[in-house]
Chain A
Amino acid sequence: MEPTISPSTEPSKTNEPTPDPSKTNEPTTDPDTSLLAPVSENIRQDAAPWCFRIRDLGKCFGAHWAVRNLSITLRHGEVYGLLGPNGAGKTTTLRMIAGLIEPDEGSLQLSGVDRDAAPLEARKKIGFVTGSTGLYQRLTPIELLHFFAKLHEIPEHEAQRRIDELVEALALHSFAKQQAATLSTGQKQRVNLARALLHQPTLLILDEPTAGLDIISADFILQTIQKARKDGRSVILSTHILTETELLCDRIGVLFGGKLAQEGSLAQLFQTTQTHSLAQAFLKIIQQADPLAAPHASAHMNHTTENAR
């Protein structure tokens, strides 16, 4: 196991001081901050050009390594797409990043916070939404947001301000005071996103956030992700809908068998795989990693994804 490298010992090209972790989560005092308040300037200019970094992450279930030697680095405002067939280790990876499960190997750093040293600090910088995330059935969205604001130790008046803005931005008005059991799937997912943005995280982890949503709801979610990116938040997105990946992601990593099989921008992927669509590139990468897993990078597959687009 490699020793954890803390930001202070990290050889940096510039001599600028490393960001003070306590400052990064400070609510910005800028009067016209939107709910998706831009991540504070001091982070963007800090010594580490990245916002989030995992190194040699590994997780083992029984005798089987679900994820191993996984290293990913994200810049501020970057959207990273994590692709991979079912069972490739995407959810395990995202759960490790979110701090839900403990990695057996490797380290994770988030804008100057080492997760091993300060797990709770790290969680404050992460917003986590999955396609299967539930809401408390008998709480209203407003109650839910207030509850999470308290857990994040956001001062009362500040919490109220942010919740008002989130209700506005995510159009929660019509059902803000209805118990969650009565909401539709799309409405629930909007509330979930509001919950994940409430504490103004630097990193958004989205595990199939549009799973089971209709086109309108899904589009709303995607727009919100775009806005979050503009505010300087980094996003890790795992999805099976390749059009979403193409639309949103600055970089794409293809996970297979717990390892990163290929990583790069859309253009880079096309170039290395000599293909013209993400579906083809994806299949080709899987095929290269394990010829038995995807026997034919078929034209049929290509055709269907083109249609979907």
Chain B
Amino acid sequence: MRWPIVHTLWKKEMLEMLRDRRTILIMVLLPLVLYPVIGIITSQAQSAHVQKLQASRLRVGLVGAALPAPLMQKLLRNNELEHIPPYASWKERLAQKQLHAILDTTSPSIPSTQSASTQQAAPPKSPSASLPSMRLTAPPPYTIRVIYLSTWDASRTASQRLQDILREFHHEALQKRLQDYRIAPAFVQVFTIQTQDTASAQARGRDLLGTMLPLLLIIMTIVGALYPAVDLTAGEKERGTLETLLTAPITSLEIVTGKYITIFCISLTTGLLNMFSLWLTFSQGLRMLTSNRKLAIDMTLNLQHYLALIGFLALIAALSSAVMLSMASFARSFKEGQNYTTPAYMLCFMPAFLATLPGAKPSLTSAMIPFVNVAYAIKGTIKGDLSLDYALLTVFSMLVVTVAFLRLSAMIFQNEQVLFREGDISWRGLFSQNSAHPQPLPSISDTFFLLSLQFTLFFYVGLSLQQRNIAFGTAITLWGIFLLPAVLWARTRHLDLKATFRLQPLPLQQLPPILLIVLGGLPLVLILTYYTSMWLFPDWLEFARKMNESFSLKSFGISTPVFFLILALSPGICEEAVFRGFALSSFRKRLSPQISIALSAFLFAAFHLSLYRLLPTFLLGLVFGWLCWRTGSLYASVIAHTLHNALSLAIGLFFAKTALARSLDQQPALWWLPLGLILFVTGIVWLHRIAPPPQSAKTLLSDPHT
């Protein structure tokens, strides 16, 4: 990649985008003008409306007996009262909005345990209070019901105003009654309730911001990427300029990079301007709100907040630009581009929406889910409770997915079928080579669909089976969910089974180095896993203990040979067939060996569904992948995988008590490191020397014997 060329492309794309009024509209005008305008208009309209409602005269219906004269006076001060007979259809009058509310005194009185009219005040039991007993008389309390319509704002206000008046009158009446008997008002008051919120004004402001800001920022940043992505890909195709660009002496990777950086810049700018504008609108609106009420909310953020927010926004912009670029690249026209990007847009912000719901709690798993993790991270940043672990995992996961989508975009841009297609898109043709020959090897899309199917089955069927009966469930998962669909898929697609699953005989002399690699690899993986996991996951030991427990003879409840069959041989065969056979073969068709092996190892690791085991399984996947590729035979990795599993199980089963095993198992001793390294490297070098150089996928096929 030549960066001066990318820079030239970027400059041109930026110039073009900035001259486009639509970009400026979405990027600058919308956030800078729309939010404040909407904010100001709605808040002003709202407060004007409320004030109007507060001041307006109420039409109140009165049902039942007349109220005391002072109360009537109070009620009539600003309002109109209308006596309604009890049988009148007052509900309808309220529904028709002829009345704002109704006061109803026909309700039964509060049943009192004692007659209220003549009440004997109980003599105080304490000896100090030697007051003479006195007779207190008062009319029985009655009930006033305020009837209103909650769906009509004027009625809601009316209800509040009426209640205020009633409460005021009640208070005055009570005071008067107490005065009559010369009782101090404090006498009827046992205590008063006060509340105090210890949250500072700043904390309250940040809580408010943390709830509102993440989703809006994510949505606006994605929107910022959407338009330029469609314009720079589908739009260029539609205008016929992409063809010219592709005839220039530049690579498609340079074109994609130039376009990507442009989309990223616009998306990020949109996000930043939105952040700025939203913050301004919120704090401005708040100032207006709090000016007449005693509500202390402070929305100021400090420099660290801003830097972290900008960083997370950059992550959002990076990923959404990559997603939008790859989706829009499929399209031939602007309209088609919008059709492809809209679902992607929904898919991106829906998870983020869930994360911003109140009560949603971030777990470390959520840190691996793109957009969900940034939503939490932004929330956490503003509220000040974001852990460093979470932030780092978020960055890592967002970047990994971004790179994957960038890779997809580059693939699409190198695919002439997508660039110059005339008819409808064919997914098969997209990932496979442009060739008339039948495909004896699986394509990347084959692997993609197969793994999705397997994952769904695994997640919904396999896991529940394993919960019911772990031995049976594990066996079914491996043979029925992993191996069987892979074989069936290969059969129905008429793939070459032998080439797909690399069923090449393994020369006997290659066995010893493989043994060395496994023997040396086991302590290496254990040590690496232990020390990185102890550092990454605080509860690693607990997890390891649980793992050992669940994978024990006791929990399986089966005989030792069957135990080894299910947990050593079965994974060796079934998982290798899928990840090193099917997946690796398909990747090798288009990708370099290194990337293919890494990709299959990553998928292998991901299928273990555990963050804790991601690293060890990934490392093992790398080793198995290399073995399979180097020897050209699946048997190599099957043997290695089986042996590795058997060894690990045996250590737990038979040698758990010995010091040797303990030094490996619970807390691997570092002195294993040189030993393991020597064995491992010797094995690798040995195998590298005796195994013939691996054939490329293509030559493997053109060989008539395969």
Contact = CB atoms under 8 A, between A and B. Distances in A.
Interface string A39-64: 00000000000000000000011111
B17 to A, nearest CB: 8
Nearest to A151: B248
A244 interface: no
Given A132-B240, A134-B240, A150-B8, A60 B247 contact: no
A60 B244 contact: no
A121 interface: yes
A253 to B, nearest CB: 22
Contacts of A133: 240-241, 243-244
B111 interface: no
A136 B241 contact: yes
B249 A151 contact: yes
Interface in A10-36: none
B12 A136 contact: yes
B436 A63 contact: yes
A123 B5 CA distance: 15
B436 A195 contact: no
A136 B420 CA distance: 19
Contacts of A95: 420
Interface string B368-397: 000000000000000000000000000000
Nearest to A102: B416
B468 to A, nearest CB: 48
A152 interface: yes
Contact of B416 (A100, A153, A195): A100
B8 A100 contact: no
Given A132-B240, A147-B8, A150-B8, A139 B16 contact: yes
A240 interface: no
A151 B434 contact: no
A99 B249 CA distance: 10
Given A100-B420, A138-B19, A60 B435 contact: yes
A148 B248 contact: yes
A27 B241 CA distance: 27
A263 interface: no
Contacts of A152: 248-249
A126 interface: yes
A140 to B, nearest CB: 10
B239 interface: yes
B445 to A, nearest CB: 16
Contacts, number: 85
B15 A134 contact: no
A98 interface: yes
Interface in B432-447: 434-436
A134 B239 contact: yes
Interface in B69-114: none
A67 B247 CA distance: 20
Interface string B416-429: 10011000000001
A128 interface: yes
B275 to A, nearest CB: 28
A133 B237 CA distance: 10
B251 interface: yes
Nearest to B414: A102
Given A60-B435, A137-B239, A150-B8, A98 B16 contact: no
A128 B435 contact: no
Contact of A128 (B240, B244, B251, B434): B244
B436 A60 contact: yes
A133 B239 CA distance: 8
A9 B440 CA distance: 35
Interface string B239-283: 111011011111100000000000000000000000000000000
Contact of B435 (A104, A132, A153): A104
A172 interface: no
Contact of A143 (B9, B15, B240): B15
Nearest to A96: B416
User: Residue among B8, B9, B429 with the most chain A CB within 10 A?
Assistant: B8
B20 interface: yes
Contact of B434 (A102, A132, A148, A195): A102
A138 to B, nearest CB: 4
Interface string B11-46: 010011001100000000000000000000000000
A187 interface: no
A179 interface: yes
Interface in A116-150: 120-121, 123-124, 126, 128, 130, 132-139, 143, 147-148, 150
Contacts of B20: 138
A5 to B, nearest CB: 21
A132 B243 CA distance: 10
B244 A62 contact: no
B12 A139 contact: yes
A175 interface: no
A153 B247 CA distance: 14
Contacts of B244: 128, 133-134, 192, 195
B247 A98 contact: yes
B517 to A, nearest CB: 38
Given A98-B247, A126-B247, A138 B435 contact: no
Q: Which of A64, A95, A192 has the most CB of B within 10 A?
A: A95
Nearest to A137: B239
Query: Which of B16, B244, B434, B436: most chain A CB closer than 10 A?
Result: B244
Nearest to A125: B249
Nearest to B240: A134
A151 B5 contact: yes
A126 B251 CA distance: 15
A172 B557 CA distance: 87
Contact of B247 (A62, A128, A136): A128
A170 to B, nearest CB: 16
A100 B4 CA distance: 22
Nearest to B245: A151
A123 B247 contact: yes
Contacts of A147: 8, 12
Contact of B241 (A65, A134, A150): A134
Nearest to B17: A138
Contacts of B434: 60-61, 102, 104
Contacts of A192: 244
A169 interface: no
Contact of B248 (A121, A123, A132, A179): A123
Nearest to A124: B249
A267 interface: no
Contacts of B9: 151
Which of B4, B5, B12, B420 is packed against the most chain A CB atoms within 10 Å?
Answer: B12
A56 B19 CA distance: 46
A63 B249 CA distance: 31
A101 interface: yes
A128 B248 CA distance: 9
B256 to A, nearest CB: 15
A60 B434 CA distance: 8
Contact of A151 (B239, B250, B420, B436): B250
A290 B35 CA distance: 68
Nearest to A98: B247
A101 B416 CA distance: 6
Contacts of A132: 240, 243
A153 B248 CA distance: 10
Given A60-B434, A133-B244, A150-B4, 4 more contacts: A64-B436, A128-B243, A148-B248, A192-B244
Interchain residue pairs A-B with the least CB separation, the first 10: A134-B240, A138-B19, A134-B239, A123-B249, A128-B247, A60-B436, A150-B8, A101-B416, A120-B249, A151-B248
30 contacts: A60-B436, A63-B436, A65-B436, A95-B420, A98-B247, A99-B247, A100-B243, A101-B420, A102-B434, A120-B249, A120-B251, A121-B249, A123-B248, A124-B249, A128-B244, A136-B12, A136-B16, A136-B241, A137-B239, A138-B16, A143-B15, A147-B8, A147-B12, A148-B248, A150-B5, A151-B5, A151-B248, A153-B5, A179-B19, A195-B244
Interface of B: 4-5, 8-9, 12, 15-16, 19-20, 239-241, 243-244, 246-251, 416, 419-420, 429, 434-436
